[in-house]
Amino acid sequence: MKLRSLYILSIVGLLLVIVVQIGGMMYAYDNTKKEAERALNECFRLAFIETVDNEINNLPFPDMTIPF
């Protein structure tokens, strides 16, 4: 095999590896972003429910009444 064709083959292989690595990084970033967004939405929902419940429980209603 000539030295020139070996250089070309090496460069093509390197470019292929770089493209595959970039694709994997984009896939991992997208999955991590989706998981973080899901976790943040769940935490926000729980915090919102707890805050509203605490506010309702601290309202000055007489005992044994239900606020609507």
Q: Which of 36, 17, 40 is nearest to 28 (CA)?
A: 36
Indicate the pTM of the whole model.
0.61
pLDDT band, residue 60 (cuts 50/70/90): confident
Instruction: Give me the residue spans of the domains in the chain.
Output: 24-54
Written as six digits, the tokens of 27 are 């896939």
HEC letters along the chain: CCHHHHHHHHHHHHHHHHHHHHHHHHHHHHHHHHHHHHHHHHHHHHHHHHHHHHHHHCCCCCCCCCCC
pLDDT in tens, 22-57: 999 999 999 999 999 999 999 999 999 999 888 877
Length in residues, the chain: 68
**pLDDT over threshold 90, residue 64:** no
